Structure 1
Amino acid sequence: MSTKTVLITGTSSGIGLATAVAAARAGWHVIATMRDTTKADALLAAAKDAGATVEVRALDVTDPASVQACLAGLERLDALVNNAGAGHVGTLEQESVEDVRAVMEVNFFGVLHVTKAALPLLRASGGRVLTVTSVGGVIGQPFNEAYCAAKFAVEGFMESLAPVAATAGVSVSVVEPGAVASEFVANVGLADDALDQAGPYAPALAAYLERTRGAFAAAQTSQDVAARIVDQLAAERPAFRLLTSDAASAFVAAKLKDLDGSAVQALTAAWVAG
């Protein structure tokens, strides 16, 4: 059999970069995509250091024309890893609906644009879709309203798509990391003076940020998440939900067994208690 091809979005840093390198080392032909290919140096250097090669293509997941251009000419695609996304910290009263809509465009509609375009190729190969969501796609988290809404939407969409896609031979999975040590954390759009501007929400935001700093001090590495994703790419029967760490599993379990929502509310309320 010829080398299998995987397209991975958001590979300029973090989980996407690590997954592109790990997949290439595992023998995949990797199409590593990013919005700005001038930022490919870190990826190419990491691949070279690992003795692997990747093909870099430009892709803005929010632009359907960019998606079509990226996939143009592909004769075969065996897997898609939807990884591109952006963090966002804020609360509804203090941000615009346009801010929320922008988060949805990247984290939800971007996934849909790429998956829709890739599905004909994946049907032809009997391939699979892996979408990196988050434990924030299962449990709503304080000051992550827009981000969690987008990830909840992705989870619901993929959970609904999975049985339909399976009838056409395509496997659909979601990947749920917890805290990951990557540049994603630095790209949440929180201004330096956020606490000064938080008004009545300042004590809650301060408590949330303190808790979050502690969580990310013991974060999983991007390379560890990437290894789990590559295992899922090769799995004979991939599970729908892949939790990438024991911490993520324990966190999500709190939601899945919480029938009335009280346990989760008690958990997250503690994050913002002054």
Structure 2
Amino acid sequence: MSMSLTNENQAGRSTKPVVLVTGTSTGIGLAVAVTAAMAGWQVVATIRREGSDGELRTAADIAGVSSDIELRMLDITDAETSAATVNDIAQRYGRLDAVVNNAGSGHVGTVEDDSIDAIRRVMEVNYFGVVNVTKPAMAHLRASGGTLVTVSSVGGVVGQPFNEAYCAAKFAVEGMMESLQPVAAAVGVRVVIVEPGAVATSFVENVGIADAGVTASGAYAEAFDHYIERTRGAFANAQLAQGVADVIVGALLADEIPFRLQSSDGATAFAGTKLRDLDGSAVTGFTASWVA
């Protein structure tokens, strides 16, 4: 389905740069889609669940950019569908200038209590989903000299208690993109990682704290209670999604851009704990305070 019948029926090369943004039903992805459209981009915005497009439609209408946003259904864990979607976008518009890998999901738990299936699911969404979109996009981005932006997290730099699976997936994304960056640059594609800290979106509501498998009588209960208390405090002062979107769209528009960007001063300070920590003691000493 499409927010714009004009876009849906369009054939031939777009006169605007074209960006694919995944995970746009709420939060960062929604803000990126609308902000990019306002900046002059033709946006193809994807959502996973039927009927979850209401907030995006409303925001696009208010901003006056509904005609510049095409909406598509996409489950990024489906490699075949992801490839077909990316290739169809490039064919429909005659170009693909940027991809923003934003879709993802949180998870709270610990390895002893988590099921293997739950851990695999976190990896499928947050790591392999990025692979599934990036792989077919690279040829089109080579052709356009385009930009690949992936939304990671400060959790892709600093391992965080009760986030083993989520941080593992984000570490994997960071490792892949850091390795890809010089290879992509050699063929004219810019690769950028954006690392938000706590962001005031529905993402945190979907993390599954209530289903974390850590009970009051469990061995990890006391540590988990400390973690929850600290986390609630962090999200009480969370960055707005628009602030992250401004960093991402800024990266699309900039002539020169570094590989790694944090979305706030707080995120920079947090990530710096690890990036300056050669032996790991600063990170583990810092996060130990979350659970004690």
User: TM-score, with normalisation over the residues of structure 2?
Assistant: 0.91
**d(CA) in 1 for partners of 2:38 and 2:153?**
25
Q: Report deviation, 1:195.
A: 4.8
Cα distance per residue 1:179-203 (max 9 Å; x no partner): 0000000111222685536601000
Provide the residue aligned with 2:59 in structure 1. 46
1:69 aligns with 2:101: no
AA aligned opposite 2:23: G
Provide the residue aligned with 2:48 in structure 1. 35
Provide the residue aligned with 1:210 in structure 2. 229
Equivalent residue for 1:56, pick from 71, 76, 82: 71
Residue ranges of structure 1 left out of the alignment (5+ in a row): none
**d(CA) in 2 for partners of 1:166 and 1:65?**
26
**d(CA) in 2 for partners of 1:186 and 1:193?**
13
Alignment of 1:88-127 (within 5 A): 88-127=107-146
SS in 2 for 1:199: coil
**d(CA) in 2 for partners of 1:157 and 1:189?**
27
**d(CA) in 2 for partners of 1:222 and 1:203?**
32
Check whether the contact 1:37–1:57 (CA below 8 A) recurs between aligned residues. Answer: no
Q: Quick one: structure 1 residues 18 and 33, their matched pair in 2 at CA, closer, same or farther if it must change by over 3 Å?
A: same
**d(CA) in 2 for partners of 1:208 and 1:188?**
14
Equivalent residue for 2:254, pick from 213, 224, 235: 235
Residue ranges of structure 2 left out of the alignment (5+ in a row): 1-13
SS in 1 for 2:109: coil
Q: Quick one: structure 1 residues 268 and 64, their matched pair in 2 at CA, closer, same or farther if it must change by over 3 Å?
A: same
Check whether the contact 2:75–2:82 (CA below 8 A) recurs between aligned residues. Answer: yes
Cα distance per residue 1:82-109 (max 9 Å; x no partner): 0000000000000112211110000000
Check whether the contact 2:109–2:212 (CA below 8 A) recurs between aligned residues. Answer: no
Q: Report deviation, 1:36.
A: 2.1
AA aligned opposite 1:181: A
Q: How many residues align?
A: 273
Cα distance per residue 1:129-182 (max 9 Å; x no partner): 000000000000000000000000000000000100111110001000000000
Provide the residue aligned with 2:176 in structure 1. 157
Cα distance per residue 1:222-241 (max 9 Å; x no partner): 01110111111101012100
SS in 2 for 1:49: helix
Q: Report deviation, 1:258.
A: 1.1
Q: Report deviation, 1:51.
A: 1.2
Provide the residue aligned with 1:13 in structure 2. 26
Equivalent residue for 1:257, pick from 276, 281, 286: 276
Check whether the contact 1:58–1:70 (CA below 8 A) recurs between aligned residues. Answer: no
Deviation larger for 151-160 or 256-265: 256-265
**d(CA) in 2 for partners of 1:81 and 1:134?**
14
Deviation larger for 61-70 or 19-28: 61-70
Provide the residue aligned with 1:22 in structure 2. 35
Equivalent residue for 1:170, pick from 174, 181, 189: 189
Q: Report deviation, 1:37.
A: 4.0
**d(CA) in 1 for partners of 2:84 and 2:72?**
10
Provide the residue aligned with 2:11 in structure 1. none
SS in 2 for 1:95: coil
AA aligned opposite 2:122: V
SS in 2 for 1:129: strand
Cα distance per residue 1:16-45 (max 9 Å; x no partner): 011101111111100001112421111011
Percent identity at matched positions? 59
**d(CA) in 2 for partners of 1:55 and 1:193?**
36
**d(CA) in 2 for partners of 1:37 and 1:167?**
39
Provide the residue aligned with 2:103 in structure 1. 84
Deviation larger for 186-195 or 148-157: 186-195
